[in-house]
Amino acid sequence: MSEEKTTRKLSIEEEVEIYIDAILERAKDFEFSSFLLGAKKEVYDEDDAGLLKRTLGVRLCLCDGWLDRGRDVDWRHPDLVFILCGIKDGEAQIALKIRSIYVYGRYRKHERGISQTRWVCQKCNGKGCKKCQKQGRHYEESVQEIISAGLCPAFGSGNLGFFHGMGREDVDVLMLGHGRPFVFEILKPKVRSIDLEAFTAKFNEGNKEKVTLESLRLTNFRAPALVKGVSPDKSYRAFCKYLDTAPSPEKVKELPSAFSAQVLDQRTPQRVARRRADLIRKREVRSLVIEEEREDGLLLAIRSQSGTYIKELISSDEGRTEPSIAGFLGVPCVCAELDVLDIHISDDDALTKPEPEAESVSSGAEENGPDSALQ
């Protein structure tokens, strides 16, 4: 501002002296390989900025050794950005922006009752109310928080961090096999390089009853959109429980072939109808195998197109999924237990922009959005 400019007590050169000491002091806490300096527009005009740049540039090159240690200015994605916001009472006012770190990996969930992300009670916004039994949240633990409690301190971050999953499983469903791809964004990291293999081993040892990790690698800010932008097939193990009587043995025998390459019409399940558009989606069951026949039901291995509602495939959801296993067997059934056994995508493919292609069965792009918006 012009008023501030005329009352500026120090010359730019004197300000720079103060800035450099302050920046070096702040920078001590961080591991970084690139940085950028900026000047706040409201405080400095273009002439000032030019003078700042010249003065700072000379000083930094000559005496501070930042550049000598191989730290390049990275204009597009610097690790740190120091914004010079003026000198107040002899003290440098510096705003510091710290680039997030993005870690890709896959998680397995070994215990039921853990939600994927922190699920704050919407009625009280976390304060605690009757609906959430004064907890402020719907589930005590989440995959997000368990991963955060390991990853964030390892990178010197005290924040929760953002979790981006490739879809999600229900709270009562286990995530097994090679796990579900995710990207975790670590906010304001002080450390940028850790031994991810050693981290994984230690994390898995401490969390083996609940959540374990594999395939961790550093990635970038584009990764969350990539991971959310693909819809691979999934394999499940489901226990189809008879509610009433057992079906005829002939029907059981015919079940696998009846549900191989079988396209379903799935109307939005009643249990999620409040938060999702009421649509009929076409989803394909690729294959169905009976792993075990028990007196009270069937243990099934099912591979299906992404977005298939497996619980409703079994129960029919009062006719909203057609055809259904209950309908085919001719007896009422429910999905009493469900585990995700595999998500059929490689790590490299999870981080690669998919080629646009016409989907033969899916109704399209709406598939990935709602999952991420749920909680």
Active site residues: 170
Q: Is the dihedral of CA 276, 279, 284, 289 positive or negative?
A: positive
Binding string, 203-242, against Zn ion, x = CB under 5 A? ----------------------------------------
Q: How many CA atoms lie within 13 A of 197 on its CB side?
A: 0
Residue with smaller CB distance to Zn ion, 77 or 131: 131
- Pick left, alpha or beta for residue 276 (phi over 0 → left; psi -120 to 50 → alpha; otherwise beta): beta
Tokens 């007896």: give the residue: 331
Count CB-CB contacts under 10 A for residue 5.
12
- Shortest distance, position 136 Cβ to Zn ion, whole Å: 6
What is the H or E stretch that residue 326 is in?
A: helix 325-329
Q: Contact at 8 Å (CB) between 174 and 340?
A: yes
Residue with smaller CB distance to Zn ion, 126 or 177: 126
Residue with smaller CB distance to Zn ion, 38 or 126: 126
Collect contacts of 273-278 with beta carbons under 8 A, ≥24 apart.
Answer: 275/370, 275/374, 276/370, 277/366
Q: Is the dihedral of CA 162, 167, 168, 174 positive or negative?
A: negative
- Shortest distance, position 373 Cβ to Zn ion, whole Å: 20
301 binds Zn ion (CB under 5 A): no
Task: Restricting to residues 75-104, name those near Zn ion by CB under 5 A.
Answer: none
Residue with smaller CB distance to Zn ion, 66 or 119: 119
Task: Restricting to residues 122-151, name those near Zn ion by CB under 5 A.
Answer: 123-124, 129, 131-132
- Shortest distance, position 119 Cβ to Zn ion, whole Å: 11
Residue nearest to Zn ion (CB): 121
- Shortest distance, position 274 Cβ to Zn ion, whole Å: 17
Residue with smaller CB distance to Zn ion, 141 or 337: 141
- Shortest distance, position 123 Cβ to Zn ion, whole Å: 5
Q: Contact at 8 Å (CB) between 43 and 5?
A: no
Among 16, 23, 121, 298, binds Zn ion (CB under 5 A): 121
Tokens of 243: 């509610």
Tell me the number of residues near Zn ion by CB under 5 A. Answer: 6
Residue with smaller CB distance to Zn ion, 118 or 281: 118
Tokens of 111: 């215990």
Using the rule CB under 5 A, give the single segment among 118-126, 182-190, 232-240, 285-293 that binds Zn ion.
118-126
- Shortest distance, position 120 Cβ to Zn ion, whole Å: 8
In three-state secondary structure terms, 343 is strand
Alpha helices in 155-243 (DSSP H): 196-207, 223-228
Positions touching Zn ion (CB under 5 A) are 121, 123-124, 129, 131-132
